[in-house]
Amino acid sequence: MGVEPENEFVSDDELKSLLERWNAPGPSRVLDKRIATSFAREFSGADGLSQSVLLPHRREEVVSMKFCSRCEEEFADKFSFCPVDGTPLTPVSAKVEDPSLTVSRDNDPSVTKAQGTTRPAVQASEPFVEPAYAAAGASSGSRALVQREEYHLTIMNDTGLVSRLAHELGDVAHEYQLTWPEFKRDPFGFTKRTFVGYGNMFMKFLRKPNVLLAMGAAMLGMLALVGAVMLMDRSQSATTSRVGLIVFSVIAGGLLVALFSTWLGRERGAAVMGAEPSDSRSVVAAMITSFVFLFAILGVIVGINYKQRGLIAQNNGEESEVADQIFDIPNEQPTPDPGTAGFNKGSGGGSKPKPEKAGGGGGGGREESKPASFGKLPQASLDVPQILPPDPKPVLPKNPALPVAATVVADPMLVPPDARVLPYGDYKSKSTDPSSGPGSGNGIGDGKGTGVGPGEGGGIGPGRGGNIGGGDFNAGGGGPGGGGGGYDRVFTGREVTSKARLLSKPEPQYTEDARKNQITGTVVLKVVFQSNGSVSNIRTVSGLPYGLTERAIAAARQIKFVPATKDGHPVSMWMQLEYNFNLY
C-alpha cells in the first residue's frame, strides 16, 4: 500500500489549524542529561537493572501482576488469592501489548468515556508489526525479571523507615478495605477460601525440595538446645549428679557432631544449607563449627554459674555460717532386742551407734545383815570413773571442798537419771529399811564391788565388770532410730529428723589486742544445741589467740535457735560453728 495521502482523509483545514493551537513543549535539558547518563551507565558495567526507569514511580506495579488460573484474570500483586474464587495466584510476566487487547479498550467506556463509538471491523486482521516487535521498549526493563520467577529484585527506595512502614501499613489497610465487602457478603465462604488458599500455599511450600529436611534439622537443633539448657538447669539443684550430667552432655554433643558430619553427606549437607554441592565441605565444617561453638557457650555458662555459686558460698562462710549442716537424712536402723537391758523396756541396748546387746553387771554391799533397801539408782556413767559408790545412808561431810556425787558404772542411755527424792538403793528391793546389803565392796546389794545388785563390779544387776544386762561387760548400742535411750541424748546431724534452725546469731567482736596484732583466722567450735534451746558443751576445735576464741564462745552462747527434732521430739544436737575473723 502506498504512502500517498488519501484525499478523503486529509483533515479539514479548520480543524487542522485549530489543532495546531495545542503546542507541545520540547524535551527538557534534564531529559537530555538523563539519557546521556543512562547511556554511560549502561556501558560502564553497571547492571542495567540499576536504572530501569520505566515510569519509575509505578515500577512496582509494572513488575507485579498475578494471574488466576481458574478465572483467567490478572490481579494486583497484593492479592495472594483470587478475590473471585480464592485460587492461589501465580506471578505473571509483564504481558506483551496485544493489538486485539488494545482495540477492545477502544470500546471500554470505563476507560475512555467513548460513548457510542462503533467497533472497527478490521480489528482482527494481521498487524503490520508483530506484537513482540511492537512491544520492544514496553517491557524490556521488567519482563526479564518477572519471567525468572526465582529471582525477585527488591529495589529499596531511599525514603525513611517510618514512611516506608506507614506506606506498608496503608497498603495492608487498603487490602483489608478491599476484601471487607467480600467478607461481609459471604463470611463463611470467604474464611473457607482463605483457609483453603493458605493451606494450598503451605502444602506447596512443603513440597519444595529440601524444605522438610531443613525444617527437621532446625527443629532437631532447637530441641537439642532446649534439652541441654533444661539439663543444665536441673543439674544446679542436684549437686551430686551435676558432674555426671556435664560429662554426659559433652559426650552427647560430640556424638551429635559426629552424627551430623556423617549423616550430612556432601550433596545432602549442601542442600540443607541451600548451598551449591561444591560448597559441601565448607558446609559440613560450618555445621561442626557451629555445634562446637554452641557447646562452648553452654560450657562457659555452666562454668560461670558454678563459679558464682562458689563465690556465694564463700561469702556466706565469711559471715560465720554454721558449716556442719550438710548431712544426709538418717536412715532408720533395726532396733535391738527389746528389753535386753536397762530400764527403758524396748528401747535398745545402749549408747553405741550400732545395735548391740549390752552386757555386764555389778554388785556390792557393805556386809550388812539386812538386805539392801529399796532406792533409786545413782547417775550412771561409763566415761567418768566411779569415785563414790552409792550409799543408802551417805555420810555427808560438812562444807566439802569438792562435792562428788555417787555414780554407777553403766550406760546412761540404759539408766535414765532418776529425779525422785529417794535415797540410793536397790531398785528391785522391797525393803524400806536403809541398808547397803550383805555384799562386799561398798556397793549396794548381795554382790561384790561398787555397783548395785548381785553381780560383780561397778554396774547394776547380775553380771560382771560394770554396766547392765548380765554376763560380761559390754557397752551395748541401739543406734540412731533404735530409740536406744529415748530423745535425751545428743544427736548428730545425721540422726535428727530436722536440724536446728538458727534464729539469731550474734557476731563476735574483735578484741583490741587481736586487732593490734593483726590476727585473722577461723575459730571452730563444737557445741550442743540443746533441746531446751540453750547452747552447751562448747568445745574448741581450733582457736585463735588474743581472746578471739573467748569472743567466739561468748557469741556462740548467745545463739538463738529452734531445736532439732527427731520424730517430733525436740532433741539436742551436735553442731560445729565456724567464726571467721577477718581484718579489712
Partner 1 sequence: MPERTTDEVLLKRAGEGDQAAFLELYDRHRQPIFRFAYRLLGEVDIAEDVTHDCFLSLIRKPENFRPERAPLRTYLFAAARNLALKYFRDTGRETTLDEVTEEPQLSPRQEPLRKLLDEELAAEVRRAVFTLPPLQREALILFEYEGLSLNEIAGITGADVGAVKGRLYRARERLKSILRPYIDSGQELNRGREIVTLREA
- Write out the binding residues for partner 1, residues 122-151 only, by CB under 8 A: 122-123, 125-129, 131-141
Residues 249-288 close enough to bind partner 1 by CB under 8 A: none
CA 28 centroid distance within chain: 71
Burial class (CB in 10 A: 0-12, 13-18, 19+), 430: exposed
Stretch that binds partner 1, among 38-46, 77-85, 150-158, 319-327 (CB under 8 A): 38-46
Q: Which amino acid is at 225?
A: L
Q: Is 113 left (phi over 0), alpha (psi -120 to 50) or beta?
A: left
Q: Does 26 bind partner 1 (CB under 8 A)?
A: yes
State how far the alpha carbon of 297 is from the alpha carbons of 228, 294, 305, in Å.
12, 5, 12
Element (H, E) at 149: none
Among positions 46, 114, 251, 285, the unique one binding partner 1 when judged by CB under 8 A: 114
Q: Does 202 bind partner 1 (CB under 8 A)?
A: no
As a whole number of angstroms, the distance between CA 193 and CA 207 comes to 21
As a whole number of angstroms, the distance between CA 89 and CA 75 comes to 8
Residues 341-380 close enough to bind partner 1 by CB under 8 A: none
Smallest distance, Å, CB 8 to partner 1?
Answer: 9
Q: Does 32 bind partner 1 (CB under 8 A)?
A: yes
Q: Does 39 bind partner 1 (CB under 8 A)?
A: yes
Smallest distance, Å, CB 97 to partner 1?
Answer: 5
113/207 with CB nearer partner 1 = 113
Stretch that binds partner 1, among 46-54, 154-162, 414-422, 458-466 (CB under 8 A): 46-54
132/219 with CB nearer partner 1 = 132
Residues 53-112 close enough to bind partner 1 by CB under 8 A: 53-56, 58, 61-62, 94, 97, 99, 102-103, 105-107, 111-112
Q: Does 46 bind partner 1 (CB under 8 A)?
A: no
13/383 with CB nearer partner 1 = 13
127/254 with CB nearer partner 1 = 127
Among positions 7, 28, 154, 399, the unique one binding partner 1 when judged by CB under 8 A: 28
Cα dihedral angle (39, 44, 49, 53), rounded to 10 degrees? -30
121/419 with CB nearer partner 1 = 121
Q: Does 23 bind partner 1 (CB under 8 A)?
A: yes
2/209 with CB nearer partner 1 = 2
Stretch that binds partner 1, among 48-56, 81-89, 381-389, 405-413 (CB under 8 A): 48-56
Beta bridge pairs of residue 380 = 408
46/300 with CB nearer partner 1 = 46
Edge-to-edge, what's the strand order for the sheet holding 65-67?
74-76, 65-67, 90-92
As a whole number of angstroms, the distance between CA 464 and CA 447 comes to 10
Element (H, E) at 556: helix 548-557
Stretch that binds partner 1, among 40-48, 377-385, 506-514, 532-540 (CB under 8 A): 40-48
30/404 with CB nearer partner 1 = 30
Smallest distance, Å, CB 148 to partner 1?
Answer: 16
130/267 with CB nearer partner 1 = 130
Q: Does 31 bind partner 1 (CB under 8 A)?
A: yes
Among positions 46, 71, 90, 120, the unique one binding partner 1 when judged by CB under 8 A: 120
Burial class (CB in 10 A: 0-12, 13-18, 19+), 353: middle
x/- mask, partner 1, residues 1-20, rule CB under 8 A, reads: xxx-xx--x-xx-xxxxxx-
Relative to beta strand 564-566, strand 560-562 is unpaired
x/- mask, partner 1, residues 486-505, rule CB under 8 A, reads: --------------------
Number of residues in contact with partner 1, rule: CB under 8 A? 75
Residue 513 cell numbers, joined: 589486742
**Nearest of 452, 489, 472 to residue 566 by alpha carbon:** 489
Quote the strand ranges of 33-110, DSSP E. Answer: 65-67, 74-76, 90-92
Q: Are 535 and 564 in contact (CB under 8 A)?
A: no
State how far the alpha carbon of 333 is from the alpha carbons of 184, 347, 350, 354, in Å.
79, 13, 14, 9
Q: Does 36 bind partner 1 (CB under 8 A)?
A: yes
Quote the strand ranges of 63-126, DSSP E. Answer: 65-67, 74-76, 90-92
130/367 with CB nearer partner 1 = 130
43/188 with CB nearer partner 1 = 43
**Nearest of 383, 379, 388 to residue 442 by alpha carbon:** 388
36/285 with CB nearer partner 1 = 36
Q: Are 380 and 432 in contact (CB under 8 A)?
A: no
Q: Does 113 bind partner 1 (CB under 8 A)?
A: yes
* For the chain, the helix, strand and coil percentages under 3-state DSSP, each to the nearest 5: 35, 20, 45
Stretch that binds partner 1, among 22-30, 406-414, 440-448, 478-486 (CB under 8 A): 22-30
